[in-house]
Structure 1
Amino acid sequence: MRISKEPEVRKREIADNAMRLFCEKGYEATSMKDIARAVHVVPGLCYNYFKSKYELYEYALTLYAEECISPIIEILQRDEESLNVYYQKIVDAFIRNDGKEKYHDFFHKDGNQLFHKQLEIKMNDKVQPYIKEFIVRLNRNGQLNVKDPESISKFIVYGQSPIINDDSLTAEEKADKVISVINLLLN
């Protein structure tokens, strides 16, 4: 019996199963046939949504990056009374979600450093414009006086990655280190 699903629901189902298999078997060892079997569909249906395994991976990577950064973006777009309130809300969101993300096991699996770097780049590229706009908005409101929001936002976003990805630190330690560096840059 064939079960019809909305295209976005089906794409997501395929991506979720692919990422689970990539984590279990490895990206190279997983075929589109394996993914189709896990979704209980014929391989042609997977190819109907994705031209290749890599395109499927790119889709899952983009979804995951957006899910990881969406709580931060939501906070950055709010109007809060002080920079410290933003910091606290971002830290709380980070600590609440760190290590609990949907595809965390795949991207943090030993041997998947290249995949993790791709995720890091995708997330940083997506969040940087929001950080820049945040700085510009706080400049306009008189909360900051940053002369070059573009450069500072890039430095903040791309500079925090080694700290955020340091698994020897707790989420709290990561947050403390990143916030202290951001404070230095913004003040």
Structure 2
Amino acid sequence: MRVTKEPEVRKQEILDTALKLFGENGYEKTSISDIAKAIGIAQGLCYRYFPSKEALFDSAIEQYADVLLEQFAGIEKNKYKTLRQVIEGMPATVEERDKKYYSVFHGEENKKFHDQLSLKVCEKLVPLVEELLLCARQKGEIQFDDIQTAAVFCVYGQLGILLSDDLTEEDKSKRIREFLIFALRL
């Protein structure tokens, strides 16, 4: 018996199933056919929503990056805090190990996926950081004019530390906070 679902519901079902299988079997060993079979739909239906396995995975990265960005954006809404207070209170990461896609992006065999996700999150974070820096400049906390370059540096400059396997989350956070406070002269 054919089950009809709303397009967005079906698309999300395909995406969720694909990521579950990517996490269990690896990206290379998972086919569109495997995904369709796991859901109980025709392979062509997957292609209706995603023209390729790569497009499906790109959508997953985009979606998970949006989830992480929402968590970062929700951390700092208090306009009365100084930039230094914001930096001192920021976490190195907002990811939780039990979240929906965590294992896909953090498995040993999925380092490439994690790196792609990290770059996508950085891309999405830059405008948020620009806004924080503009606000800090308006309050006289920072004195430089090139806010865009500062935002890009603040965001992408953290990747080397965040992607390091040699440091604990606490050490990563401490190093990043200390450097940002130094670099921004706060």
Cα distance change of structure 1 residues 102 and 173 upon mapping to structure 2, 3 Å threshold: farther
Percent of aligned pairs with the same residue? 36
Aligned partners of 1:146, 1:47: CA distance in 2, in Å?
A: 49
- The size of the alignment, in residue pairs, is 185
Shift of 1:21: 0.7
Alignment match, 1:102: 100
Q: Deviations over 1:87-140 (max 9, x none)?
A: 35532xx56635444322222222322222211211111111211121012211
Q: Which deviates more from structure 2 when the two are superposed, residues 163-172 or residues 125-134?
A: 163-172
Q: Tell me the TM-score normalized by structure 1.
A: 0.87
Shift of 1:67: 1.0
Aligned partners of 2:152, 2:131: CA distance in 1, in Å?
A: 12
Alignment match, 1:4: 4
- 1:23 touches 1:105 (CA, 8 Å); kept in 2? yes
Alignment match, 2:16: 16
Q: Which deviates more from structure 2 when the two are superposed, residues 48-57 or residues 115-124?
A: 115-124
Letter in 1 for 2:152: K
- 2:82 touches 2:136 (CA, 8 Å); kept in 1? no
Alignment match, 1:148: 146
1:29-178 to 2 correspondences below 5 Å:
29-91=29-91, 94=92, 97-178=95-176
Q: Deviations over 1:33-88 (max 9, x none)?
A: 11112222221211111111111111001001111222112334542322344235
Aligned partners of 1:39, 1:89: CA distance in 2, in Å?
A: 43
Higher relative contact order (CA 8 A, sep 6+): 2
5+ residue gaps, structure 2: none
Q: Tell me the TM-score normalized by structure 2.
A: 0.87
5+ residue gaps, structure 1: none
Aligned partners of 1:185, 1:37: CA distance in 2, in Å?
A: 53
Aligned partners of 1:103, 1:179: CA distance in 2, in Å?
A: 27
Letter in 2 for 1:151: T
